């Protein structure tokens, strides 16, 4: 079974600075998806960024980028120019490509709580 | 992106009553929806997977008779907490995926906070 680990329960960053959230995972599969979801105080889960394992290029979404190291099974999230609205719980998630009913193989990490200091 | 709406966003009920939570995909058809439970400061715990027109698949340890799931259409799944007790108080989140293809992600509802008195 796959597992996702986030070793930083809490992180803080100064506004406008850069912060990196770490995520490692364990799998024997070669094809899969990785995600970072954000859960702000409103509690709705919001997709931040997505990475397909077969792609070597790191995904980027505006101020958010990932460092995907497939061999090391590492998937860190970098937030640049941090804003107060970035304060939230961040979950790293893994999803198998197969089988098709992938809710049961969509695995979430324990989360990292990010605080942004003004 | 796809929108999933969950209702109610919060509910308070007396012990022994039943509560129904709705999860709707607003702009896409969701063949599969998932129900999660989240305890304070913890990650999401998958409770069950519901497929349109068939019985839900429950995760180990989740009581099927207490957490009734119905997925009667491609845009609606409901979770009914029957004979609720204080230990059922939690944050419940639904998510959905589209009919075909897609980008592999799940789309989440806003969540429903249940408080059982």
Report pLDDT digits (tens) over B46-59. 999 988 888 899 99
Neighbouring CB atoms inside 10 A of A99's CB total 8
- Whether the CB-CB separation of A52 and A33 falls below 8 Å is answered with yes
In the predicted structure, residue B38 carries a pLDDT above the cut 90? yes
Instruction: Encode B72-109: b = buried (16+ Cβ within 10 Å), e = exposed.
Output: eebbebbbebeebeeebbbbbbbbbbbeeeeebbbbbb
Kindly provide the residue ranges of all beta strands, DSSP E only, lying in chain B, ordered along the sequence.
4-7, 10-13, 19-25, 32-38, 44-51, 57-58, 67-73, 76-81, 90-97, 107-108, 112-116
Taking the CA of residue A104 and the nearest CA in chain B, the distance in Å comes to: 7
In the predicted structure, residue B101 carries a pLDDT above the cut 80? no
CB-based contact B93 A45, cutoff 8 Å: yes
In the predicted structure, residue A99 carries a pLDDT above the cut 90? no
In the predicted structure, residue A10 carries a pLDDT above the cut 70? yes
Q: How open is the CA angle A108-B112-B109, to the nearest 5 degrees?
A: 60
Share of residues in chain B with pLDDT > 70 (%): 93
Nearest to A42 by CA among A99, A88, A106: A88
Taking the CA of residue A103 and the nearest CA in chain B, the distance in Å comes to: 6
> Each residue of A13-63: pLDDT tens digit?
999 999 999 999 999 888 899 999 999 988 889 999 999 999 989 999 999
Best of B106, B109, B112, B114 to disrupt the A interface by mutation (most A CBs within 10 Å)?
B106
Nearest to A43 by CA among B21, B45, B41: B41
Whether A105 and chain B come into contact, CB under 8 Å, resolves to no
CB-based contact B108 A46, cutoff 8 Å: yes
β pairing state of A112-117 and B90-97: unpaired
Residues B20 and B79: their CA atoms lie apart, in Å, by: 6
CA atoms within 13 A on the CB side of A60: 6
Instruction: Give the pLDDT band (50/70/90) at residue B40.
Output: confident
CB-based contact B103 A50, cutoff 8 Å: yes
Class of residue A101 by CB neighbours under 10 A (exposed 0-12, middle 13-18, buried 19+): middle
What's chain A's average pLDDT?
92
Chain A: residue whose CA lies nearest to B5: A44
- Residues in A closer than 8 angstroms to B34, CB to CB, are 103, 106
In the predicted structure, residue B74 carries a pLDDT above the cut 90? no
Chain A: residue whose CA lies nearest to B6: A44
Bridge partners (DSSP) listed for residue A82: none
Residues B60 and A64: their CA atoms lie apart, in Å, by: 36
- Give mean pLDDT, residues B63-68: 95
Choose the closest CB to A104 out of B49, B105, B111: B49
What's chain B's average pLDDT?
90
> What pLDDT is recorded for position B54?
83
Q: Which two tokens stand for residue B5?
A: 């709406």
Count of positions (residues) in chain B? 117
Taking the CA of residue B14 and the nearest CA in chain A, the distance in Å comes to: 24
DSSP B40: T
CB-based contact B43 A111, cutoff 8 Å: yes
> What pLDDT is recorded for position A103?
53
> What pLDDT is recorded for position A44?
87
CB-based contact A102 B97, cutoff 8 Å: yes
In the predicted structure, residue A104 carries a pLDDT above the cut 80? no
- Whether the CB-CB separation of A117 and A14 falls below 8 Å is answered with yes
- Give mean pLDDT, residues B81-89: 96
Which residue bears the tokens 């997977």?
B49
CB-based contact A101 B104, cutoff 8 Å: no
């Amino acid at each position: 079974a796959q597992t996702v680990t986030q070793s930083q329960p809490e992180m803080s960053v100064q506004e406008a600075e850069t912060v990196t959230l770490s995520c490692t995972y364990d799998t024997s599969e070669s094809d899969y998806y990785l995600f970072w979801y954000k859960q702000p105080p409103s509690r709705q889960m919001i997709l931040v960024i997505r990475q397909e394992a077969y792609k070597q290029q790191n995904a980027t979404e505006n101020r958010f980028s990932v460092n995907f190291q497939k061999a090391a099974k590492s998937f860190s999230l970098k937030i640049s120019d941090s804003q107060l609205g970035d304060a939230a719980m961040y979950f790293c998630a893994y999803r198998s490509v197969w089988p098709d009913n992938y809710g049961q193989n969509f695995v979430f990490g324990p989360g990292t709580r990010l605080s942004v200091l003004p | 992106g796809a929108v999933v709406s969950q209702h109610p966003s919060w509910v308070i009920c007396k012990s022994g009553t039943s509560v129904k939570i709705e999860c709707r995909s607003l702009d896409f058809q969701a063949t599969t929806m998932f129900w999660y439970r989240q305890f304070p400061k913890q990650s999401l715990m998958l409770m069950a997977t519901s497929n349109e027109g068939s019985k839900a698949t429950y995760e180990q340890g989740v009581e099927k008779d207490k957490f009734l799931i119905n997925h009667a259409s491609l845009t609606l799944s409901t979770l009914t907490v029957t004979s609720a007790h204080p230990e059922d108080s939690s944050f419940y989140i639904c998510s959905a995926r589209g009919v075909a293809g897609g980008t592999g992600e799940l789309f989440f509802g806003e969540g429903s906070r249940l408080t059982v008195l």
